[in-house]
């Protein structure tokens, strides 16, 4: 087996969700879940087929994010992987809707951080072994850090 590290690319204000699913209708079902979860959501979604024509299937409400999602899905080239780029929503707003799609098997990451995908390759094809999501841990939060975290969550409306 060979391993590869593939860096995903996205805009600074774009969130990314990387996961695995198992059926060709995934791209349409994810599209419907996203539209139903957040009115006016801007997104691109792409899904890699694992057999037959083995194409990247893409859809979205924003043409640029849709194109970027397809390019990012193609880069690791792993079958049954899906990738969502979010322009005006956060993963917390849609993760439950994504997880409720019957063919979704797992979520590797949901983040605004830089992402490296660790890919394994054999004669059969490619698969995601894991992800590196953001920077290495720098320490344990202080009381000031905890207060700043709590204030940020309240500013965004995630805590009262």
Give the confidence band of 118 by pLDDT, cuts at 50, 70, 90: very high
pLDDT above 90 (res 157) = no
Q: Supply the pLDDT for residue 129.
A: 98
Options 3.40.50.10190, 3.40.1520.10, 2.60.40.10, 3.40.47.10; CATH of 9-114: 3.40.1520.10
**Sheet (strand 115-121) strand order:** 2-7, 115-121, 126-133
Structural domain boundaries in the chain: 9-114
Q: Supply the pLDDT for residue 156.
A: 84
What is the distance between the alpha carbons of residues 86 and 42, in angstroms, rounded to a whole number? 6
């Amino acid at each position: 087996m060979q391993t590869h590290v593939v860096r995903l690319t996205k805009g600074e204000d774009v969130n990314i969700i990387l996961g695995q699913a198992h059926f060709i209708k995934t791209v349409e079902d994810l599209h419907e879940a996203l539209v139903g979860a957040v009115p006016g959501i801007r997104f691109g979604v792409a899904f890699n087929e694992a057999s037959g024509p083995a194409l990247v299937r893409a859809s979205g409400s924003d043409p640029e994010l849709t194109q970027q999602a397809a390019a990012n899905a193609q880069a690791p080239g792993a079958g049954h992987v899906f990738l969502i780029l979010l322009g005006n929503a956060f993963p917390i707003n849609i993760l439950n809707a994504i997880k409720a799609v019957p063919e979704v098997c797992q979520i590797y990451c949901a983040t605004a951080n830089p992402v490296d995908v660790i890919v394994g390759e054999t004669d059969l094809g490619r698969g995601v072994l894991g992800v590196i999501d953001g920077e290495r841990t720098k320490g344990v939060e202080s009381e000031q850090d905890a207060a700043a975290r709590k204030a940020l969550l309240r500013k965004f409306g995630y805590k009262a």
